[in-house]
Amino acid sequence: MCATRSRPCGRGGTADGRHAGGVQRPLQGRGDLTLGRARVPSEDDWWHGKSCDQQRAWKQATEDLVAAWVAAVKAGVSPTSERAQSLAARHVQWLSQIPGTPTADGDRERSIEMVKGLGDLYVNDPRFAGMYDDAAGAMFVRDALREYARTRM
């Protein structure tokens, strides 16, 4: 079964866009959120325009990225290490796939601010901190993203 506005794609999905792994649809419920200049009213169009396979691939890529961040934290690497900076690059690339975001639009200055702001959100919002195991994991992601934004964007 493919996702529509009223039903999710694939196994284990729920009507609120979550699936068994706990990942929500990207930007769910944030259609009125301004990201830089652009508004994101077409979030549902973007998500529901994907086939079931594309939605599953997106969710899997998201889960894989989060797992890689958690593994890096557990390995004790520094947020400025090449491993962490490679993950930060992967994270920014992942963000750039979401239409209407500064990273997708190629707006360097707003992309830098968005990436730094998301890092702060990951630390300040316990729902995100839990995604990275705990506050220390979220702080690691934030610090790595900040370093990436400062040195490589």
Ordered by start, the domain boundaries in the chain are 34-152
Fold of 34-152: Globin-like (1.10.490)
pLDDT classification of 23: cutoffs 50, 70, 90:
very low
**Strands 38-39, 34-35: pairing kind:** antiparallel
End-to-end CA distance of the chain: 39
Specify the DSSP element, H or E, that contains 34.
Answer: strand 34-35
Using CA atoms, how far apart are residues 49 and 55, in angstroms rounded to an integer? Answer: 9
Assess contact for 119 and 153: CB atoms under 8 A: no
**Residue 149 pLDDT exceeds 70:** yes
With DSSP H G I counted as helix, E B as strand and the rest as coil, what are the percentages for the chain, rounded to 5? 60, 5, 40
Assess contact for 83 and 91: CB atoms under 8 A: no
What average pLDDT does range 109-123 have in this prediction?
97
Quick: pLDDT tens for 32-65. 444 454 554 566 788 999 999 999 999 999 999 9
Q: With 0.85 as the threshold, say if the pTM is over it.
A: no
Assess contact for 66 and 90: CB atoms under 8 A: no
Specify the DSSP element, H or E, that contains 74.
Answer: helix 52-75
Say what the pLDDT of residue 9 is. Answer: 60
Say what the pLDDT of residue 44 is. Answer: 73
Which of 43-47, 124-128, 138-142 is predicted with the least confidence, judged by mean pLDDT? Answer: 43-47
Say what the pLDDT of residue 10 is. Answer: 52
35 forms beta bridges with 38
Which of 33-47, 56-70, 122-136, 137-151 is predicted with the least confidence, judged by mean pLDDT? Answer: 33-47
Using CA atoms, how far apart are residues 49 and 77, in angstroms rounded to an integer? Answer: 38
